Amino acid sequence: MEAFEGETISSALFAAGIRVFGHHAKDGAAQGIFCANGQCSQCLVLADGIPVKSCMELVRAGLKVEPVEGLPELPRIDARASRLGPARPIETLRIPVLIIGGGPAGLSAAIELGRRGIRTLLIDDKHRLGGKLVLQTHRFFGSIEAVYAGTRGIDIATRLESEVRSFAAVSVRLQTTALAVYSDKKVGVLVEGRRYALVEPEVLLVTAGAREKNLAFPGNTLPGVYGAGAFQTLVNRDLVKPTGRLFIVGGGNVGLIAGYHALQAGISVVGLVEVLPECGGYKVHRDKLARLGVPIYTSHTVVSANGTDAVGSVTIARVDEKFRPVPGSERSFDCDTLLIAVGLDPVNEFTEKAREFGLPVFAAGDAEEIAEASAAIFSGKIRGLEVARALGHDVGEISPDWYRTADILKSKPGAVVPEQTPADETGVFPVIHCNQEIPCDPCTAVCPNNLIEMDETDIRLLPSFAREKGGKGCTGCEKCVAICPGLAITLVDYRKDAEFPTVAVPFEFLKETLKPGDRVVVEDTEGQPLGEVEVGAVKAIKANDRTVIVKVRAPRAYAKRIAGIRIQPAATSEPLGEYVRRTTDDTIICRCERVTAGEIRRLIREGVRDISEIKAVTRTSMGSCGAKTCTPLIHRLFREEGVPDAEVVDQPKRPLFIEVPMGVFAGLNGKDKDHDNE
Ligand code: FES
């Protein structure tokens, strides 16, 4: 098989059309990708005979990849004849600051520390820096000044990385994983996947991000059911088109954006379900998806993913006020992939252990509190200064405005207000279709005549347009149309034809998707069709940074209400004739050990309250994800059975984050590029 250099095994397999990576030892269930982030172990394969997480291991020429059928066997090693050589001492690196995680928060903190010449080691388990930024091809919200709003996440990653690398005081180690924080205040680290070392920092900064929450429903472990982050990794980082027809569970920003990215990659999005009456993500994201033709089912949940060795369809149902599926409301849809985007949990185990053992520790970004990546950039910046101060450096007073900005960037979207459509129908002017308070200001900075205004003290407030300022009015430059991350500004031009004005609409698809003369359905902000119009021009200029401007001529009656262009035909999302439904006792709670809800429920009903006891009987939580995936679901089962949280005895947290061959701790297998002579 062919693969690209630098590609992970899992992406190479997906690109080759392989979705099933093996079968589970317990019940023969098909296994495939789930998190694509090194957090679970669903994607295990044998690489040259050794079981590895295929999402973390890079391909190399001649690599032999085999599926894991049942339990993998480890290769036999004759210790005496071993090429491993003698154990070498484990080195301990003493350093003022160790940062775990090279995403937006970690990079921003490293910049502040680097600026002050503070020796810092930044480690990240991936093979490139940027964290989730490298998956984010959309423009960022927030403030231009504070967090590069209006710039695409992938480009922010490049900027932050090059700045970090310009500081001699900051060293970066990729493919290097923090394993545990120990009671002697040292952090065990697996360097480049092979060599074990200890780091003894004066201060630890945890910016390790978050892991995706899981959801329990029948069929939830079928290959084809995976996290939204995994999907973005495949599509946006590794440029693999993993599916043809996609369904999404979760209407937060992650699910909404994943749907948008799918459409951009030419994937049909069959629908999105959100259990609450409204999507929790930004309305501009929701509107973008609706306008592109994706049905959004609020107050609905997923009932099951259906198929034997892979997803073939999904069944959804309406929920009542207690979020229980309403019998008779089920509908099934044909799809091959189901994305789970039901929220994130902070990766906080390092912070908790450091606190327990008295190692000075700070956390920033999602590892501290789940919020937008723009908030992570800013909190990383603040935490960088706080770490410097904790080390005795004079950083002056950290402005209270910074803390306020951090709070604003973290804030949840505000209430939706009725859209204000200007009464005017002369000349040229922008129509702002943004009607929910969110932290975002790029439109105010790009207008050459400063005609788009916002209260400078709070970038959550809605922008407004002034027809004239200092004798200058709108010139129709389209800069505001191109930069709005929410694609929520159009420009209506009555100058040539007042009856059929030209409307400039932002469009983030390839220029070739539309051409002059095409007939398109245009829609209002919420995705309601207004009519069919002809495309006049398609403009893709470099200054617009991959946002295409499509110009349509539309009747005066609705020109100002046009907010977008539909690209996905409505027929994509027709339900199947019959709905498929499966029983729920076989719902998998522990993916690693294939333990069902039925097995755990039985013990809860027998009176078991200690999760360790459930573990001893069923093997739940004993898998290689270290119980990170199933623990929240076990707690939910207790709640469903009416057991209060206070009665449940949690299991001890397992220290190790990933599987490490035992010999590595003893200093065996220590060859790496720094120690070639060993
Ligand atoms: S899901 Fe990994 S141990 Fe349970």
Could you read off the pLDDT of 357-382 as tens digits, one per residue? 999 999 999 999 999 888 999 999 99
Ligand 1 in reach of 630 Cβ (< 6 A): yes
Confidence of residue 80 (pLDDT cuts 50, 70, 90): low
Q: How far is the centre of ligand 1, averaged over its atoms, from the C-alpha of 535 (Å)?
A: 52
- CA 353 to ligand 1 center in whole angstroms: 21
Model confidence at 664: pLDDT above 90: no
∠ CA 250-283-288 to the nearest 5 degrees?
85
Q: List, for residues 18-63, the tens digit of each pLDDT value.
A: 999 999 999 999 999 999 988 888 899 999 988 889 999 999 999 9
Average pLDDT, the chain: 91
| Ligand 1 midpoint to CA 40 (Å) | 8
> What pLDDT digit, counting tens, does each position of 88-137 carry?
889 999 999 999 999 999 999 999 999 999 999 999 999 899 999 999 99
Cα angle at 172 between 407 and 115, to 5 degrees?
Answer: 55
Per the document, the length of the chain is 678
Question: For residues 476 and 493, is the Cβ–Cβ distance under 8 A?
Answer: yes
At residue 677, the pLDDT reads: 31
* Ligand 1 binding pocket includes 39 (Cβ within 6 Å): no
Give alpha helix (H) positions in 583-656.
Answer: 597-605, 611-618, 631-640
Question: Can you state the angle between helices 373-390 and 104-115, rounded to 10 degrees?
Answer: 40
Under the banding of pLDDT at 50, 70 and 90, the label for residue 454 is: confident
Closest approach atom of ligand 1 to CA 629: 1
pLDDT confidence of residue 656: 64
337-360, pLDDT tens digit by residue? 999 999 999 999 999 999 999 999
Does the beta carbon of 54 sit less than 6 angstroms from any atom of ligand 1? no
**214, 621, 637: which to mutate for ligand 1, most atoms within 8 A of CB?**
621
Rounded to 5, what percent of the chain is helix, strand, coil?
25, 25, 50
Encoded tokens for 58 = 């890079």
Ligand 1 pocket member 361 (CB < 6 A): no
- Average pLDDT of the residues in 498-512: 94
Question: Which of 37, 599, 630, when mutated, tests ligand 1's pocket best, judged by the most ligand atoms within 8 Å of its CB?
Answer: 630
Q: Residue 475 and residue 487: Cα distance in Å, rounded?
A: 20
CA of 309 to the centre of ligand 1 (A): 20
Best of 593, 612, 619, 657 to mutate for ligand 1, by most ligand atoms within 8 A of CB? 593
Ligand 1 close to Cβ of residue 627 (< 6 A): yes
CA distance 240 to 346: 27
The predicted structure's pLDDT at residue 79: 61
pLDDT at site 144: 82
Question: For ligand 1, is residue 591 a contact (CB within 6 Å)?
Answer: yes
pTM: 0.90
Rounded CA gap, 51 and 591, in Å? 17
- The proportion of the chain whose per-residue pLDDT surpasses 90, expressed as a percent, equals 71
171-218 pLDDT, tens digit per residue, is 999 999 999 999 999 999 999 878 899 999 999 999 999 988 889 999
Q: What is the reported pLDDT for 106?
A: 98
Q: Residue 373: CB within 6 Å of ligand 1?
A: no
Half-sphere CA count of 387, side-chain side, radius 13 A: 38
DSSP string, 384-414: HHHHHHHTT----PPPHHHHHHHHHHHPPP-
User: How far does residue 41's CA lie from ligand 1's centre (Å)?
Assistant: 9
> What is the secondary structure of 458-515 as a DSSP string?
-TTSPPEE-SEETTEE-----HHHHH-TT--EEEEE-SS-SSS-EEEEEE-S-GGG--
Residue-wise pLDDT tens digits, 282-326:
999 999 999 999 999 999 999 999 998 889 999 999 999 988 899
As a whole number, mean pLDDT of residues 161-169 equals 97
C-alpha pair distances (Å), 182 with each of 64, 101, 199, 201, 665 = 36, 18, 10, 12, 14
Integer Cα distance of 482 and 366 in angstroms: 29
Tokens of 346: 């902070």
Q: Is 111 helix (H, G, I), strand (E, B) or coil?
A: helix
pLDDT digits (tens, 9 = 90+) for 535-582: 999 999 888 888 999 999 999 999 999 999 998 887 777 888 766 655
Rounded to the nearest angstrom, the distance between the alpha carbon of 624 and the centre of ligand 1 is 7
